[in-house]
């Protein structure tokens, strides 16, 4: 996941596992620190912006899928749905995140994106567009 996070953050961030709590019993879940290569310091994940949190979470989800495949006898999580979050990214970061997603698609993964971000229309060649009609119903258009 750090490789993908590095690509999405323009080589700025890396995640590091850290164990807080003095005893094993006091530790719960996965405790992470963010290494900020611009400052050389560790930060709390809580200090990340909305866009940074989005792509860091995406990198973790992709890493988890890789671990499941490696540890579960080759069970492959071929399909990934990403629901929103793209609106929190600036144009350059959106390009970096989409490059990682394009690479996943090139490797055979199906990536579904749920978003209202208009700029994604040009980046996603096959999509369902849902529009609200005046009477309150919806119309679906398939673009391929």
| pLDDT at residue number 27 | 56
Q: Do 144 and 115 touch, CB atoms closer than 8 A?
A: no
| pLDDT at residue number 142 | 92
| pLDDT at residue number 134 | 95
All residues at 6 or more sequence positions from 72 whose CB lies less than 8 Å from its CB, including other chains: none
Q: What is the pTM of this model?
A: 0.70
**Strands in 1-144 per DSSP E:** 13-17, 32-36, 41-43, 79-83, 110-114, 127-132, 138-143
Query: How far is the C-alpha of 55 from the C-alpha of 66, rounded, in Å?
Result: 17
Return the higher-pLDDT residue of 61 and 26.
61
DSSP, collapsed to helix, strand or coil, labels residue 110 as: strand
pLDDT tens string 2-45: 888 898 899 999 999 886 655 666 556 678 889 999 999 998 88
pLDDT tens string 66-102: 787 777 666 666 787 888 788 888 888 888 888 888 8
């Amino acid at each position: 996941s750090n490789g993908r996070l590095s690509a999405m953050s323009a080589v700025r961030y890396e995640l590091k596992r850290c164990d807080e709590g003095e005893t094993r019993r006091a530790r719960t879940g996965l405790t992470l620190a963010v290494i900020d290569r611009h400052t050389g310091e560790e930060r709390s994940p809580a200090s990340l912006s909305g866009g940074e949190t989005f792509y860091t979470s995406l990198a973790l989800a992709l890493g988890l899928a890789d671990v499941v495949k490696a540890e579960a006898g080759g069970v492959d999580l071929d399909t990934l749905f990403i629901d929103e979050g793209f609106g929190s990214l600036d144009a350059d970061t959106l390009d970096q995140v989409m490059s990682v997603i394009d690479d996943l698609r090139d490797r055979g993964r199906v990536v579904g994106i749920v978003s209202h971000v208009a700029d994604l229309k040009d980046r996603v060649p096959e999509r369902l567009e849902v529009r609200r009609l005046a009477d309150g119903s919806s119309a679906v258009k398939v673009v391929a």
